Structure 1
Amino acid sequence: MAPVVGGCVATEDSRSAAAELVAQVDAVPTPRIDWGPCAPVIDGKECATVPVPLDYARPDGPRIELAVVRQRASDPAHRVGTLFTAVGGPGGSGVEWAARGELFSGELSRRFDVVTFDQRGVGRSAGVRCFPDTGAQQDFWRTLALPPVDAEQERATEDAGRRLAAGCDRQDGALIAHLTTVDAARDLELLRRAIGDPELTYEGASYASYLGAVYGALFPDRVRALQLSALIDPATYTTDTLSSIEATAAGTEEVFSEFLRLCAEAGPSHCAFGAPGSSTAQLRSRDTALLDRARTAAIPVGSGADTVAVTYSELVQAHALLLYDPVQGWPGLATLLAELERGPAGNPTVVREILTALAPTGDLLDSFVAISCADNSFTEPPQRWPGLAAESARTAPLFGPFWLYLRQPCAAWPDPADGYPQRYTGPWTQRTEVPALLLNNRFDPATPLTGAQRAADALGTARLVVVTDGYGHEPVGACVTELRTRYLIDLRLPAPGTTCTNDRPPFTG
């Protein structure tokens, strides 16, 4: 009986800690929100800044400003309320998303005011600063080899991780102690109160699904609806981060295998890397040959002054990130590989455009690292990373080391003297009145189906719908849109076992 009693005690301790986290935000007066024109102008939307405590344990202490954007319901006579949404990453900017166009379309945009924001530590909401100036930031991320390919690069990458951690502490030490997703969830609670909705209606994908899960676990009685997509398993993400990275890497490997299979089936008329009669194995062999070449030296494309040289780090990053988008990213990856094979006869302009569009900004990467390190758990020191990468490469040869080295700075991170008492590690069971609706593609390169299934189990009552032939990081299509719309507007859950199919398979456009 002892393990059962111990488990009960742990659960009670967790609930007591959660109650304290909620009590801290409840002690903060509801902020006033004054909507006005966005500067620079974001067509059809309003902007505001909302003050929130830097440290919720000190509600009268320093404050930071959250940048918030609202898209008004186009049919106010039939308005349901406010749909809150956030961008993944972590590190993605809601303000930048809003500047690119409509936040949601169709019935959701008619029936809801849609509100998004830059999470604390991101963009216009006290964005993390880890470098003295933009030039130093750009130089750091441009020259960093992720993943490293030899002992010299391993030492340089370890040193870079330590320098990044020290720079973030030196430039923004007070902020990085308060960047956990619990802090962001409490910010979201203050935004809900400021806007005046009695309960939260929320949509979030990728990392933003984790933000929704944290909010639902802390504030179950304040949730109207949670629609989460491209799911992170909250338990491993917070308490066993290495396992979470391994699961991601295995998922990326599986999706890349599908990329090769579907490219071979489509042939060169639809996939630039295809060849008449080529098998999946032949395409993999050609891809491996390119990667092996890049390990030794950057691969030049074009000739003369316009030549672009593609490094191993750039090539691995392209493999990983272009798989997110089957409509544009998959053809882009196929084109990149084909141009690399052409070498001096290839088109350097096309290669440069693909790599430029792909590269994350330094601001996003700084925020990604700082928020990840605040949330994640690492018990291994930085010098163990080459061994960990070798272990990861046994099951995920290409993507294991890549995803792992992105988090190496966390092993040297300057944790606050008292740690992160605001971290939340479960239980994750959602006790909301309406169960959460979860959506995940079968072939997601960043948040694989295995993680979505574990997330569904952890959340308990949530309803998981799988796009059975879905590829990429974002579930899309008429079926997904209809389920999301009916859930968020009517609180209608699909029947257990419901699945969706993809409207547009890769390489068919």
Structure 2
Amino acid sequence: MDTRRLLRTSALALATAGLLISGCSGGSSSPGASASASTKDGGLAPASALQPYYAQELKWRPCGAPGFECSTMKAPLDYDKPDGKSIKLAVARKKATGPGKRLGSLLVNPGGPGGSAVGYLQAYAGIGYPAPVRARYDMVAVDPRGVARSEPVECLTGKEMDAYTQVDQTPDDAAEATRLAASLKNFAAGCEKRSGAILPHVSTVEAARDMDILRAVLGDEKLTYVGASYGTFLGATYAELFPDRAGRLVLDGAMDPSLPSRQLNRDQTEGFETAFQSFATDCVTQTDCPLGTESAADASTRLKAFFAALDAKPVETGESRKLGESLATTGVIAAMYDEGAWPQLREALAAAMDGDGAPLLALADSYYEREGDGSYANLMYANAAVNCLDLPPAFTAPAAVQSGLPEFEKASPVFGRGFAWASLNCAYWPTPATGAPHRIEAKGADPIVVVGTTRDPATPYKWAQGLAEQLDSGTLLTYEGDGHTAYGRGSDCVDTAINTYLLEGTLPPKDKRCR
């Protein structure tokens, strides 16, 4: 299991299923300082220095499915040196279809960090968002710096990544802990070797400043935005930096930027335990449940025993890779993002317990975005690069993880050990963190809708409560249900509330709850 702290929306179910949690703030300056020093054309730098970026004209070309256009936007590689090198960012849009008056651009981000916003737009948002929204808005996406089509961070070869994903992440002794630490060091070294020039410049603050350039280039006075999962932190950061330019923002599956990395990881461990208990409670009522038909507690015991058996003896998958504990745990985690995947998980667990690890391996591969040819998308690489820049590491050495195991195992008897050890990932990162946990208030911003799902595994509901409380203009919309994020996932109540806000500017009633 690799818990690279990835957050992603589940709108595409397992096609875009993600990993674990992200960090919080980042950038070369504190966000508060950036906001207070902002100028009309974009933040800390003098207006003249950033003016060429804000004045650029995008050249659009057809791309992907009919109706979609793509372009390339430039931004400073280093906002402290705007006259220096630039970076190219991939942008895509699908123009408003009508009827009705066009309301401007609606920027979307699916989370990660590391998720491709352009891919999300083309595969889902541009065709799957509610028709009234697509009729009135140009649907727009930009791959954040270091992600997918925007000068992607690269770290390992496909074979190296295969080996990395199979490392035992629940070490039983000092030797295994040393091997895990060595794999994390090797991952970080690969990123520095292949992408060292961009690693210091992929923070969330910088990505938010890029969004403001895009807002201006598109001709919008204010940013209209729907961010899911990690995308909520990106959107909240934008509102903090540019409160006067923050329009209608929807932050779905919200993060709490005030929490340090260790607490974020622990909270998410608890979130996945809550989600698994919901799955287990349902599973034991099904005739095909491979974890028994007695109780959720019994199902947890059986799954933990199964993981231990795989740790001792992996099962065959029909290819050179075998299904060990790490990949099996990753496969289970992938299915927690969307309750629609529960039947698939039951079948995969049953097959693995019968000696065929291929279905559960397929779930793990979807989580890592591993292609059939053995190559990987840059999701995991960008995820680590942003996370490790945005927040100081949760743990700095194996001994620190050992001391923290009890609290993680209390949060989740099934997943706690693996999540605790995975929290060591940023300890060996070559670029020091530039961000720190802090409250985001965004005073002066227009009303912002924060959405939380009560049994969300990746972004626990209390994070949405925390962000809505911090934001000076935040309004919390609650979805009582399972899965990661809520908009566009089957709740007419949620969708109607958000559509009304986006189209009319009318906020959901205070303390609105949907089922």
Give the deviation of 1:127 after TM superposition: 0.4
Tell me the residue number matched to 2:330: 317
Provide the C-alpha distance between the structure 2 equivalents of 1:262 and 1:111, rounded to a whole number of angstroms: 40
Tell me the residue number matched to 1:92: 115
Provide the C-alpha distance between the structure 1 equivalents of 2:183 and 2:301, rounded to a whole number of angstroms: 33
Tell me the residue number matched to 1:246: 266
Q: Check 1:407–1:46 CA distance in 2 against 1; reply closer, same or farther (3 A cut).
A: farther
Tell me the residue number matched to 1:79: 102
1:449-479, Cα deviation, whole Å (9 max, x unpaired): 1221112222243111111234344453111
Q: SS where residue 177 of structure 1 aligns?
A: helix
Give the deviation of 1:388 after TM superposition: 4.7
Residue correspondence of structure 1 range 479-498 to structure 2 within 5 A: 479-498=493-512
Tell me the residue number matched to 1:289: 305
Give the deviation of 1:494 after TM superposition: 1.2
Q: SS where residue 481 of structure 2 aligns?
A: strand
State yes or no: 1:105 paired with 2:119. Answer: no
Contact 1:43 1:99 in 2 (8 A): no
The residue identity in structure 1 corresponding to 2:382 is S
Give the deviation of 1:489 after TM superposition: 1.2
The residue identity in structure 2 corresponding to 1:256 is F
Q: Check 1:359–1:255 CA distance in 2 against 1; reply closer, same or farther (3 A cut).
A: same
Tell me the residue number matched to 1:264: 284
State yes or no: 1:124 paired with 2:149. Answer: yes
Give the deviation of 1:415 after TM superposition: 2.6
* Structure number, greater radius of gyration: 1
Give the deviation of 1:400 after TM superposition: 2.9
Provide the C-alpha distance between the structure 1 equivalents of 2:428 and 2:442, rounded to a whole number of angstroms: 34
State yes or no: 1:24 paired with 2:45. Answer: yes
Tell me the residue number matched to 1:360: 369
Q: SS where residue 299 of structure 1 aligns?
A: coil
Higher alpha-carbon deviation: 69-78 or 477-486: 69-78
Provide the C-alpha distance between the structure 2 equivalents of 1:410 and 1:25, rounded to a whole number of angstroms: 34
Q: Check 1:358–1:166 CA distance in 2 against 1; reply closer, same or farther (3 A cut).
A: closer
Q: SS where residue 165 of structure 1 aligns?
A: helix
TM-score where L is the length of structure 1: 0.85
1:5-52, Cα deviation, whole Å (9 max, x unpaired): xxxxxxxx974453246232854121423243345x343200000010
Give the deviation of 1:413 after TM superposition: 1.4
Contact 1:68 1:117 in 2 (8 A): yes
Give unmatched runs, 5+ long, in structure 1: 1-12, 502-509
The residue identity in structure 1 corresponding to 2:480 is T
1:428-448, Cα deviation, whole Å (9 max, x unpaired): 113245321111111001101
Contact 2:453 2:482 in 1 (8 A): yes
Tell me the residue number matched to 2:21: none
Provide the C-alpha distance between the structure 2 equivalents of 1:117 and 1:17, rounded to a whole number of angstroms: 22
State yes or no: 1:164 paired with 2:187. Answer: yes
Give unmatched runs, 5+ long, in structure 2: 1-29, 371-375
The residue identity in structure 2 corresponding to 1:93 is S
Compare relative contact order (CA 8 Å, sep 6+) and give the higher one, 1 or 2.
2
Give the deviation of 1:274 after TM superposition: 6.4
Contact 2:270 2:411 in 1 (8 A): yes
Provide the C-alpha distance between the structure 1 equivalents of 2:254 and 2:31, rounded to a whole number of angstroms: 23
1:466-501, Cα deviation, whole Å (9 max, x unpaired): 112343444531111111111111111111121001
Q: Check 1:490–1:359 CA distance in 2 against 1; reply closer, same or farther (3 A cut).
A: same
Contact 2:167 2:180 in 1 (8 A): yes
1:250-278, Cα deviation, whole Å (9 max, x unpaired): 1111111111112223x22xx54365x53
* Percent of aligned pairs sharing the same letter: 28
Q: Check 1:461–1:102 CA distance in 2 against 1; reply closer, same or farther (3 A cut).
A: closer
1:348-375, Cα deviation, whole Å (9 max, x unpaired): 6544544443433441111110000010
Q: What CA RMSD, in Å, does the superposition of the two structures yield over aligned residues?
A: 2.5
Provide the C-alpha distance between the structure 1 equivalents of 2:152 and 2:31, rounded to a whole number of angstroms: 30
Tell me the residue number matched to 1:37: 61
Provide the C-alpha distance between the structure 2 equivalents of 1:14 and 1:192, rounded to a whole number of angstroms: 19
Provide the C-alpha distance between the structure 2 equivalents of 1:51 and 1:465, rounded to a whole number of angstroms: 36
Give the deviation of 1:309 after TM superposition: 3.8
Partner residue of 1:152 out of 160, 163, 175: 175
State yes or no: 1:183 paired with 2:206. Answer: yes
Tell me the residue number matched to 1:114: 139
Contact 1:308 1:351 in 2 (8 A): no
Contact 2:315 2:323 in 1 (8 A): yes
Higher alpha-carbon deviation: 54-63 or 461-470: 461-470
Partner residue of 1:390 out of 371, 392, 405: 405
Q: Check 1:25–1:198 CA distance in 2 against 1; reply closer, same or farther (3 A cut).
A: farther
Name whichever structure is richer in helix by fraction.
1
Q: SS where residue 111 of structure 2 aligns?
A: coil
State yes or no: 1:273 paired with 2:277. Answer: no
Give the deviation of 1:78 after TM superposition: 1.7
Contact 1:35 1:46 in 2 (8 A): no
Tell me the residue number matched to 2:452: 440
TM-score where L is the length of structure 2: 0.84
1:128-169, Cα deviation, whole Å (9 max, x unpaired): 1224xx345434434433344543332111112122222222
Q: Check 1:379–1:466 CA distance in 2 against 1; reply closer, same or farther (3 A cut).
A: closer
1:301-334, Cα deviation, whole Å (9 max, x unpaired): 7xxx67984210011112222100111x222221
The residue identity in structure 2 corresponding to 1:342 is D
State yes or no: 1:62 paired with 2:85. Answer: yes
Q: SS where residue 120 of structure 1 aligns?
A: coil
Partner residue of 2:247 out of 199, 210, 224: 224
The residue identity in structure 2 corresponding to 1:321 is A
State yes or no: 1:452 paired with 2:464. Answer: yes
Q: Check 1:73–1:378 CA distance in 2 against 1; reply closer, same or farther (3 A cut).
A: same
Q: Check 1:388–1:371 CA distance in 2 against 1; reply closer, same or farther (3 A cut).
A: farther
Tell me the residue number matched to 1:338: 350
The residue identity in structure 1 corresponding to 2:80 is A
1:181-215, Cα deviation, whole Å (9 max, x unpaired): 00000000000011010001111010000000100
Q: Check 1:370–1:312 CA distance in 2 against 1; reply closer, same or farther (3 A cut).
A: same
The residue identity in structure 1 corresponding to 2:512 is T
Q: Check 1:89–1:65 CA distance in 2 against 1; reply closer, same or farther (3 A cut).
A: same
Provide the C-alpha distance between the structure 2 equivalents of 1:389 and 1:37, rounded to a whole number of angstroms: 52
The residue identity in structure 2 corresponding to 1:485 is N
Give the deviation of 1:385 after TM superposition: 5.1
